[in-house]
Amino acid sequence: MSSKLKFINKDKSAFYATTRLRVEAYLKENGNSKHANAAMWRKIAFYLVGAAGLYGLILSNLFSVWQMFGLALLLGVFCALIGFNVCHDAIHGSLSASNKVNKSYSFVFNLIGASPYVWNLTHNVVHHTYTNIPGHDEDIEVAPGLIRVNPEEKVLKHQRFQHIYAFGLYSLSSISWVLRKDYLKFFQKKIGEHATVNHPKKEVFRLFFYKTIYYVMFIALPLVLLDITWWQFLIGFVSLHLVEGLVLGLVFQLAHVVEGADFPTPNEDGNMEEAWADHQMRTTANFATQNKLAGFLLGGLNQQIEHHLFPKVCHIHYPGIAAIVKATAHEFGLPYIESPTFLKALSSHYRMLKKLGWQAYREQSLSLATESSKHKHLLVS
């Protein structure tokens, strides 16, 4: 594949231009900037204060082992929700018109164990540009070789059961992120087909320095301050990340690996024969958009269509612009993929895993058996 993949169809780009003008007009008419409003800042305060409070309660050593275990699980959920509601917008630069403010809140990502610099490369640069393009978008490759989401790949025998074990692997995503993923992505020569060499020296320092800060906060201090055994700590630490990982994995997968979402491949010249915005509409999905609780918890990630088209717009505005995006998509004959509830989206994802695993393996086996039979017949003839 070409490392300079381009979207070469300019004929349909009027969709995005029209949508952008309508969204800008909506924000202006309602007196809104594209950045955070008062409600968004209150939301940010809730998650940051909540996580800090839970962390402080655990380190206070005032609770029983079981109570601390419950607090650890809740802290794992809060860490995931901070990623959704605070860091995601900040790293996209949509919280504020001030780069300093965005960088300040991006820094919080370090305190939950992840590198904002690496996330910017893998998510903002690569995923948002090459969404769902196999070989380019590594965000959809949760566990390469174990979970198959590329319809073009050969199905491995164990992937027949991916609809069963995938959710367990999702749970490992957070602990992998903290201990392995950031280092791996940082030192890869490329992410997908996007070259990632010559990192600034300060980012090399920051990667190791802030990881060390996280390890001190979440490993060293609890072991020193808490009246628990090492194995009790280990259970709590791993459980925190299992909960956090499951929340992260499910939400991100429901945005792109559901029925109706495409996994397009480049043409022979290594280019995509459609406009970028059209591509986003075919590869991205929404869910539970009418559920206010989902909107509060998921930081707009249940409205990924609006997010992919307008990543510089704070997610607090997505409910307001969704009707505009949907109507304009239909006007231009483009899909608007959505599930009414979280459970329906989860069911759709489950069916996709089964289709790309169990069903694909059966079809592959049948095809190989048929070819073998034809070959034997020719030899006999």
Q: Give the pLDDT score at 1.
A: 39
Q: Give the pLDDT score at 300.
A: 93
| Helices of type H across 262-359 | 276-283, 292-298, 304-309, 318-331, 342-354
Q: Give the pLDDT score at 140.
A: 78
Distance in Å from the first CA to the final CA of the chain: 41
Q: Give the pLDDT score at 190.
A: 87
Q: Give the pLDDT score at 112.
A: 96
Owner of token pair 């073009």 = 152
Q: Give the pLDDT score at 268.
A: 86
Q: Give the pLDDT score at 378.
A: 61
pTM of the model: 0.91
- % of the chain surpassing 90 pLDDT: 81
Q: Give the pLDDT score at 374.
A: 66
Cβ neighbours of residue 359 closer than 8 Å, sequence gap 6 or more: none
**Closest Cα partner for 170 from 94, 259, 247?**
247
Q: Give the pLDDT score at 370.
A: 77
Q: What is the pLDDT of residues 76-110, one digit of tens each?
A: 999 999 999 999 999 999 999 999 999 999 999 99
Q: Give the pLDDT score at 2.
A: 42
CA dist 106 → 23, 101, 185, 301, 322 (Å):
26, 9, 18, 17, 26
Q: Count of residues for the chain?
A: 381
In which residue ranges of the chain is pLDDT below 70?
1-3, 10-12, 372-381
**Closest Cα partner for 135 from 151, 114, 158, 119?**
151
